[in-house]
Structure 1
Amino acid sequence: MSPPKIKICGLTSREALDATIAARADYCGFVFYPPSPRNLAPETARALAAHAGARIGKVGLFVDPEDALLAAGIEAGSLDAVQLHGGETPARAAEVRARFGLPVWKAIAVSSAADIGRAEEYREAADLILFDARTPKGALPGGMGLKFDWSLLAGYAGAMPWGLAGGLAPGNVGEAIRATGAPLVDTSTGVESAPGEKDPGRIAAFCAAVRAR
């Protein structure tokens, strides 16, 4: 069985991007959400995207975005996919996919088995489901380093491609993959030395741990 795909989210510097590419991650994540410490200004996203070129897939994270923000982020980041990380409905996810012509990843906040079941609602509206930990009310919707009960995904066989996020780090990602069978893993906080500051060593360790599971 091939190892899971890897996404390193919330990159803000060329150093972090270089480390992500060197570690052979499949995707880098650019955040377009102003409250986040990982939010990118358009000019920064444009510079990082140009530096990355076609060496890695580029995914833009948005939270309940208006079309103008989506358009600006897609252009600046030369995005290959759009990740919707807020309360977007299936209808909105389908609208974004149709309007911008890019694959849509929909994050679902998980705290119970019922949340896993919500993935089915997006079957015709999104291209990939990302199961992430539910964060406290009023907090950021992701990037908090929280994880959920991975046993909720044991034996999961949904109809759509999916990935696992939430509290993943070099020390636990192997366990997470064994527990869930996740075909894609996504980390942000778990490879940081401080909020928004990626650690090249941790990025390398995370990718190595995924492949050594």
Structure 2
Amino acid sequence: MSGPDIKICGVTTREALDATIRAQASHVGFNFFPPSPRFLKFADAPALAAQAAGRILRVGVFVDADDSFIADAVAAASLDAIQLHGKEDPARAAALRTRFGKPVWKVISVAGPGDVAKAAAYTGVADFILFDAKTPKGAALPGGLGLAFDWDLLKAYKGPLPWGLAGGLAPANVADAVRGTGTAMVDVSSGVESAPGVKDETRIRTFCFNARNL
């Protein structure tokens, strides 16, 4: 299918996952950060993992989690990739990549040009970079707040790692985001919800359609 890869993040129900698969998203994000309204309990993960198997790639989202917690999530959700959304440094990314044998994605929080440049440090130790908006100081969550950053900051990015775009994306602006940045992936969470943590089937379908029909 043409257009960027699409990740619908923070899916917690069979209905939301079914809508995500029907909309032909390429990846689903399972959030394993307990304070988030999108937190997926380990007990609920196996059923969703089985539903996704062979139909969509499963990405686990973690925030400064320890090895045992990540191991439990990898097992429960049969994860295809590990996304690091905290302050994990390159050494931590490399260690997790080696231990679990899974692709590691690193989220880079962006407010200015210097933040984009931080992606270079993950060359050779991560497999994918996801540029997201930097959250306000003191925010309870590292993402999922519907905040965007200046996408023009990515125009000059020529890093060696493939990368995607997150932060403030929604059905109404995703086409402009893809056109303006040339991103290989768009990642959305709150932008396809009717309330925090509640995915909306129509918004998921419209988001995926608009991302691919520029």
Shorter-chain TM-score: which interval? over 0.9
Deviation of residue 47 (structure 1)?
1.2
Query: Is 101-110 or 135-144 further displaced after alignment?
Result: 135-144
In structure 2, the partner of 1:136 is: 136
Q: Please say if 1:55 is aligned against 2:48.
A: no
Q: How does 1:77-156 map to 2 (within 5 A)?
A: 77-139=77-139, 140-156=141-157
Deviation of residue 72 (structure 1)?
0.6
Which amino acid in 1 is paired with 2:208? C
In structure 2, the partner of 1:192 is: 193
Deviations 1:161-211, CA, capped at 9 Å, x for gaps: 100000100000001111111010000000000000000000000000011
Calculate the TM-score normalised by the size of structure 2: 0.98
Q: Which SS does the other structure have where 1:185 is aligned?
A: strand
Which amino acid in 1 is paired with 2:149? F
Q: For 1:92 and 1:194, locate their aligned partners in 2 and report how far apart those are by CA, in whole Å.
A: 34
Deviation of residue 155 (structure 1)?
4.0
Deviation of residue 10 (structure 1)?
0.2
Which amino acid in 1 is paired with 2:62? F
Number of corresponding residues: 213
Q: For 1:124 and 1:13, locate their aligned partners in 2 and report how far apart those are by CA, in whole Å.
A: 35
Q: Could you tell me which runs of 5 or more consecutive residues in structure 1 were left unpaired when the two chains were aligned.
A: none
Which amino acid in 1 is paired with 2:150? D
Q: Could you tell me which runs of 5 or more consecutive residues in structure 2 were left unpaired when the two chains were aligned.
A: none
Q: For 1:57 and 1:66, locate their aligned partners in 2 and report how far apart those are by CA, in whole Å.
A: 23
Q: Which SS does the other structure have where 2:74 is aligned?
A: helix
Q: For 1:81 and 1:107, locate their aligned partners in 2 and report how far apart those are by CA, in whole Å.
A: 13
In structure 1, the partner of 2:170 is: 169
Q: For 2:2 and 2:153, locate their aligned partners in 1 and report how far apart those are by CA, in whole Å.
A: 23
CA RMSD of aligned residues (A): 1.0
Calculate the TM-score normalised by the size of structure 1: 0.98
Which amino acid in 2 is paired with 1:174? A
Deviation of residue 38 (structure 1)?
0.4
Q: Which SS does the other structure have where 2:146 is aligned?
A: coil
Q: Which SS does the other structure have where 2:28 is aligned?
A: strand
Contact (CA 8 Å) 1:156, 1:180: kept in 2 or not?
no
What percentage of aligned pairs have identical amino acids? 61
In structure 2, the partner of 1:23 is: 23
Q: Which SS does the other structure have where 1:20 is aligned?
A: helix
Q: For 2:167 and 2:4, locate their aligned partners in 1 and report how far apart those are by CA, in whole Å.
A: 16
Q: For 1:155 and 1:115, locate their aligned partners in 2 and report how far apart those are by CA, in whole Å.
A: 13
